[in-house]
Amino acid sequence: MDIEQFRKASLKVIYFICEYLSNIATETVNADVNPNIKPGYLENLLPGEAPEDPEEWDNIMDDFVKKIMPGITHWQHPGFHAYFPSGNSFPSILADMLSNAIGCIGFSWQAAPACTELEIIVTDWLAKEVGLPNDFLSSSEGGGVIQTSTSECVLVCMLAARNQAIKTLKEQNQNLEDSAFVQKLVAYCSQEASSCVEKAAKLFLVKLRILDSDENGCLRGDTLKVAMEEDKAKGLTPFFVLAMLGSTYTCSFDDLEEIGQVCKEQQYCWLHVDAAYAGNALICPEFKHLLKGMEYVDSFNINPSEWLLVNFDCSCLWVRKRALLINALSINPLYLQHSNDNEATDYRHWGIPLSRRFRALKLWFVIRKYGIFGLRSHINNHIELAKYFETLVRKDARFEIVNDVTLGLVCFRLSNGCTASKELFQLINKSGKIFVTLAKTKNVHFIRFCVNSEDAKKESMDFSWKIIQELADHVVVSPAKQELINVLFTKNVLEKTRSL
Amino acid sequence: MDIEQFRKASLKVIYFICEYLSNIATETVNADVNPNIKPGYLENLLPGEAPEDPEEWDNIMDDFVKKIMPGITHWQHPGFHAYFPSGNSFPSILADMLSNAIGCIGFSWQAAPACTELEIIVTDWLAKEVGLPNDFLSSSEGGGVIQTSTSECVLVCMLAARNQAIKTLKEQNQNLEDSAFVQKLVAYCSQEASSCVEKAAKLFLVKLRILDSDENGCLRGDTLKVAMEEDKAKGLTPFFVLAMLGSTYTCSFDDLEEIGQVCKEQQYCWLHVDAAYAGNALICPEFKHLLKGMEYVDSFNINPSEWLLVNFDCSCLWVRKRALLINALSINPLYLQHSNDNEATDYRHWGIPLSRRFRALKLWFVIRKYGIFGLRSHINNHIELAKYFETLVRKDARFEIVNDVTLGLVCFRLSNGCTASKELFQLINKSGKIFVTLAKTKNVHFIRFCVNSEDAKKESMDFSWKIIQELADHVVVSPAKQELINVLFTKNVLEKTRSL
């Protein structure tokens, strides 16, 4: 594909993007949010082997529209209320186009100076807006970095914590190998924490205690303290605590101050805050109180790719002492060394991958095009709509609200039980009109409904709620009829809902 | 930014991309490959805090051109001969534009069906073209996945290997905790292997033995066997071997068949092949012999983002038994479960991150737009140019070739020593005209010169070689004069070279 072909092809792609994103924003009624397909649908549509000869661009684009698009779950659809948002905006798309064209790989300062320096600058910008203490800025001993995902933020911080803990333990027993201390290490999180902390613990073979949160889904200092005392009595060493600001299940908030004080009492214990979704709201002054206790925190992550309109991947991680992260991750072969090694940041030492995209560009474009003012408005709009949706739910006596609706997530259920709530969940997602997720805490099943799309409006809340109410009419029946419903009703309800 | 503003802005961005990539392909003489800046250059050009108010798009784009671009190392420049290539092509850029617009997050089948299924299909396509055994196809017990980087491919395979090895060891001693076996585990690679295997070993706290390669940079079965016997005599358990097809330093090839046989003799030992760069050349029939011994291999990675014109990130990993990878990585909370859990692939269980971009699209677009024929031509062009460059080097008696030039990498040095070669390296990179890397194996320093750009031509080899020869004129002097050269000559030489 030469430049003239690209110029022509790109016009068609831009046209497609504009059509797609404008239609999806407005035509809730006509376009289903998720496709009505079964696993394996694409296998039947594509050849089993790669083409030997080059194909015409128009054929490829045509196949994309006819074969790929029908298999897309539309995360930017106003009826998409599952998970948390997947950030998306025009300035972000434009930045990625430029980043791709430049095609640089930012593993060291020398390999991509602007890419490295802009990452330092925009993570500093964001740290200040979020309200992190100065210790987390690059001008101090800390600093920020863009990781691929929350999972990696948590993984590398648990790694740095593990190494520090082993170092401390080794002072008392220098003859043992590092790995011999691993079985002594225990990490903590609440039952509301995201699954990535379990994955990290599984990877490092450290123990993980998943603690009860209080009635508000909040992990309290006392609970943590009791657990730690029990573990220390068994000869274990608490080394890592993950606290949530905005949990995955109900967007609840752990008590940083209480947790931090307990961590401080330990010989060595790293406190990481996962604020992947909710941390973005900290750019609004009214949420700064959530940062109480930050003086105890060692590392902190938010995902602008969730709620600041930046396309995935863009997970910002800040650490109080960058040297601990770098020591845990640096391998420095000659072919990657350069003459500015000592004075420049080499981000390959801050994460797992050696190679890195120019991701700071999209964060920079988005912050500048919206301004912090615009990003705050975006967040406030979602919060207002979530609170509005909450009032709708509360008006219908068949339902109950499960969480404290602070940000954009509303958790609700049918009052008459888990089975009914699960059935309602299935009906909703099979309808194709809106898309939600099912979750469970403290043995109670509920539906997570998150306000996601950039252009989210009151009307789409009304629309979603109307569908949920109608589907609920078919759920609230005697248990004896449940099986019959499963077999007979579902199909009709779905057909009816699909033709709404 | 609304749709009409985006439409307008995107035209300017497309225009910029076309200008940038067409100029950079042709204007070797005028445009420097790397910028003449010092760490911290950007801090002085940008404000210390994020803007409160939205800014005009034109200002942002203007700042991008005036402030970011002067800090870019141009990886697509014909004078960029450092590292390995950073894949880039128009179809890949177009695919990423669409992927960003859709903005789906493919952690499960349900969250992004087309994204999941296309990834299965294109990794199967590529496995067949590369010539992997059928065991690595999704229709068998294996399958392919796109990871962010080689580092992650190696990390997750070492993880799966570790878990399997512990399981085996535990059969003899069920009372010990899993982590207690870690200190028994030892992994192996050659001194030519990429640094990511050291990072993975550091993460898992397992021992790593870095073995001598033979005179061709090849890790041989006998060397591995001796090391393993020594380690077993010490009570250790060999559990993981990383073999290179195309090493980072000299693009050398380990002997898979010999290594595989040694692995097979062990109680449990996982063999991973890192073919990040060179594996792409396996789509050409003349290199299939390198796969001899694949019957012993458990996992295999190549980076289409290095040499198949796909933009980073796109690292393909194939495993023989996907269950081992999935068991090592799966955490399955309710909110991520879906009704097709059992019949569908959920790629979140194949890697570290939960969230994943729609990366299969760019691989699909590139394979179709170029055809395997076109991709083979691209690879063959690079190989021919590298061999041509090798002949140029061999004609100049001051130089010697260090590696067996099989693919696109030429390693050479000044015959009169490491100091001279290092000095030449510094002069080359300070010239701004071409960009290379310095490496060292077996205590010998040399310069790595890789053919990287998509439009690489004979003329740019001639151009680069002319610069290198001229700079060498200033290096080959008596040791006594070295210091003087450093102080006085360098500046003049650089000024001369910069004005070439």
- Interface mutation target, options A24, A69, A104, chain B, most CBs of B under 10 Å: A104
Q: Quote the CA–CA distance of B96 and B309 in Å, as a whole number.
A: 13
Q: Which of B16, B46, B101 has the CB atom closest to A20's CB atom?
A: B101
Chain mean position to CA B457: 22
Q: Quote the CA–CA distance of B286 and A352 in Å, as a whole number.
A: 34
Same-domain pairing of B433 and B326: no
Residue B294 lies in a domain: yes
- Interface mutation target, options B2, B53, B104, chain A, most CBs of A under 10 Å: B104
Contact A42 B117 (CB under 8 A): yes
Looking at every residue in chain A, the average pLDDT score rounds to: 92
Q: Which residue of chain A is at minimal alpha-carbon distance from B137?
A: A48
Same-domain pairing of B147 and B7: no
- pLDDT for B476 equals 63
Same-domain pairing of B339 and B423: no
Distances (CA, A) of A241 to A161, A188, A422, B273: 10, 5, 32, 36
Residue A370 lies in a domain: no
Q: Which residue of chain A is at minimal alpha-carbon distance from B24?
A: A102
Who contacts A189 (Cβ-Cβ below 8 Å, separation ≥6)? A197, A208, A209, A210, A211, A219, A241, A242, A243, A244
Q: Which residue of chain A is at minimal alpha-carbon distance from B42?
A: A117
| Residue A209 near residue A237, CB atoms below 8 Å | no
| Residue B158 near residue B187, CB atoms below 8 Å | yes
B170, burial (CB in 10 Å: exposed 0-12, middle 13-18, buried 19+): middle
Contact B113 A35 (CB under 8 A): yes
Same-domain pairing of B387 and B324: no
Ranges in chain A, pLDDT < 70:
27-30, 333-342, 476-500
Contact residues on chain A for B34, CB-CB shorter than 8 A: 110
Using the CB atoms, write b or e for A407-442: b if 16+ within 10 Å.
bbbbbbbbeeeeebbbbbbbbbbbbbbbbbbbbbbe
Q: Quote the CA–CA distance of A100 and A108 in Å, as a whole number.
A: 18
- pLDDT for A494 equals 42
What number of C-beta contacts closer than 8 Å exist between A and B?
A: 424
Same-domain pairing of B123 and B78: no
Distance from CA of A456 to the nearest CA of B (A): 14
- Interface mutation target, options A32, A98, A438, chain B, most CBs of B under 10 Å: A98
Q: Quote the CA–CA distance of A447 and A422 in Å, as a whole number.
A: 8
Contact B335 A438 (CB under 8 A): yes
- Interface mutation target, options A154, A164, A177, A179, chain B, most CBs of B under 10 Å: A179
First to last CA, chain A: 44
Residue B367 lies in a domain: no
Of B322, B357, B392, the residue at which a domain comes to its end is B357
Contact A179 B183 (CB under 8 A): yes
Residue A395 lies in a domain: yes
Q: Quote the CA–CA distance of B474 and B493 in Å, as a whole number.
A: 8
Contact B75 A103 (CB under 8 A): yes
Residue type, A251: C
Q: Which residue of chain A is at minimal alpha-carbon distance from B197?
A: A331
Q: Quote the CA–CA distance of B138 and B124 in Å, as a whole number.
A: 7
Contact residues on chain B for A196, CB-CB shorter than 8 A: 331, 354
Q: Quote the CA–CA distance of A258 and A227 in Å, as a whole number.
A: 14
Residue type, B328: A
Task: Give A80's DSSP letter.
Answer: B
Residue B91 lies in a domain: no
- Identify the domain containing residue A453 by its residue range: 1-34+73-88+375-500
A391, burial (CB in 10 Å: exposed 0-12, middle 13-18, buried 19+): exposed
Q: Quote the CA–CA distance of A496 and A364 in Å, as a whole number.
A: 46
| Count of domains observed in chain A | 2
pLDDT digits (tens, 9 = 90+) for B314-339: 999 999 999 999 999 988 766 666 66
Same-domain pairing of B43 and B140: no
Contact residues on chain A for B17, CB-CB shorter than 8 A: 6, 97-98, 101
| Number of residues assigned to chain B | 500
Of B323, B357, B391, the residue at which a domain comes to its end is B357
Q: Which residue of chain A is at minimal alpha-carbon distance from B151?
A: A353
Contact residues on chain A for B18, CB-CB shorter than 8 A: 3, 6-7
- pLDDT for B445 equals 93
Chain mean position to CA A75: 13
Distance from CA of B161 to the nearest CA of A (A): 12
Contact residues on chain B for A50, CB-CB shorter than 8 A: 122, 125-126, 128-129, 367, 371-372
Distance from CA of B40 to the nearest CA of A (A): 7
Residue A368 lies in a domain: no
Contact B55 A368 (CB under 8 A): yes
Q: Quote the CA–CA distance of A340 and A262 in Å, as a whole number.
A: 41
Distance from CA of B44 to the nearest CA of A (A): 11
Q: Which residue of chain A is at minimal alpha-carbon distance from B48?
A: A125
Contact B183 A180 (CB under 8 A): yes
Who contacts B341 (Cβ-Cβ below 8 Å, separation ≥6)? none
Q: Which residue of chain A is at minimal alpha-carbon distance from B449?
A: A335
Q: What's B425's domain CATH number? A: 3.90.1150.10
Contact B103 A87 (CB under 8 A): yes
Same-domain pairing of B383 and B476: yes
Contact A335 B438 (CB under 8 A): yes
Q: Quote the CA–CA distance of B230 and B234 in Å, as a whole number.
A: 7
Q: Quote the CA–CA distance of B335 and A230 in Å, as a whole number.
A: 31
Q: Which of A35, A101, A354 has the CB atom closest to B93's CB atom?
A: A101
Q: Quote the CA–CA distance of A132 and A295 in Å, as a whole number.
A: 9
Same-domain pairing of B79 and B132: no
pLDDT digits (tens, 9 = 90+) for B363-399: 999 999 999 999 999 999 999 999 999 999 999 999 9
Helix H or strand E encompassing A300? strand A299-302
Q: Quote the CA–CA distance of A98 and B14 in Å, as a whole number.
A: 9
If you search the block for the tokens 């992004």, which residue do you land on?
A: B112
| Residue B408 near residue B448, CB atoms below 8 Å | no
Contact residues on chain A for B161, CB-CB shorter than 8 A: none
pLDDT digits (tens, 9 = 90+) for A382-391: 999 999 999 9
One digit per residue, pLDDT tens: chain B, 500 residues?
A: 899 999 999 999 999 999 999 988 776 556 799 998 999 999 999 999 999 999 999 999 999 999 999 999 999 999 999 999 999 999 999 999 999 999 999 989 999 999 999 999 999 999 999 999 999 999 999 999 999 999 999 999 999 999 999 999 999 899 999 999 999 999 999 999 989 999 999 999 999 999 999 999 999 999 999 999 999 999 999 999 999 999 999 999 999 999 999 999 998 999 999 999 999 999 999 999 999 999 999 999 999 999 999 999 999 999 999 999 999 998 876 666 666 666 789 999 999 999 999 999 999 999 999 999 999 999 999 999 999 999 999 999 999 999 999 999 999 999 988 899 999 999 999 999 999 999 998 889 999 999 999 999 999 999 999 999 999 998 865 555 555 544 543 444 444 333 33
Q: Which residue of chain A is at minimal alpha-carbon distance from B95?
A: A13
Same-domain pairing of B290 and B303: yes
Contact A103 B121 (CB under 8 A): no
Contact B355 A121 (CB under 8 A): no
For residue A147, give the 3-state DSSP assignment. Answer: strand
Contact B354 A1 (CB under 8 A): no
Residue type, B38: K
- pLDDT for A417 equals 87
Contact A124 B48 (CB under 8 A): yes
- pLDDT for A477 equals 53
Contact residues on chain A for B370, CB-CB shorter than 8 A: 54
Distances (CA, A) of A460 to A25, A82, B37, B275, B341: 10, 14, 51, 50, 29
ipTM above 0.85, yes or no: yes
Same-domain pairing of A312 and A392: no
Who contacts A418 (Cβ-Cβ below 8 Å, separation ≥6)? A440, A444, A445
- pLDDT for A479 equals 56
Same-domain pairing of A121 and A162: yes
Residue A325 lies in a domain: yes
Using the CB atoms, write b or e for B83-107: b if 16+ within 10 Å.
bbbbbbbbbbbbbbbbbbbbbbbbb
Q: Which of B125, B354, B370 has the CB atom closest to A196's CB atom?
A: B354
Of A323, A357, A391, the residue at which a domain comes to its end is A357
| Residue A379 near residue A151, CB atoms below 8 Å | no
If you search the block for the tokens 């949420």, which residue do you land on?
A: A287
Q: Which parts of A397-443 are beta strand (E)?
A: 399-401, 409-414, 437-441
| Residue A223 near residue A212, CB atoms below 8 Å | yes
Contact A354 B54 (CB under 8 A): no
Contact residues on chain A for B122, CB-CB shorter than 8 A: 50
Residue type, B241: V
First to last CA, chain B: 44
Q: Quote the CA–CA distance of B447 and B431 in Å, as a whole number.
A: 15
Contact A57 B369 (CB under 8 A): yes
Q: What's B129's domain CATH number? A: 3.40.640.10
If you search the block for the tokens 């060397």, which residue do you land on?
A: B223
Contact residues on chain A for B437, CB-CB shorter than 8 A: 335
Q: Quote the CA–CA distance of B111 and A37 in Å, as a whole number.
A: 12
Contact residues on chain B for A359, CB-CB shorter than 8 A: none
- Interface mutation target, options B310, B331, B359, chain A, most CBs of A under 10 Å: B331
Q: Which residue of chain A is at minimal alpha-carbon distance from B12?
A: A94
Chain mean position to CA B336: 32
Residue B366 lies in a domain: no
Contact residues on chain A for B137, CB-CB shorter than 8 A: none
Same-domain pairing of A344 and A420: no
Q: Quote the CA–CA distance of B301 and B319 in Å, as a whole number.
A: 9
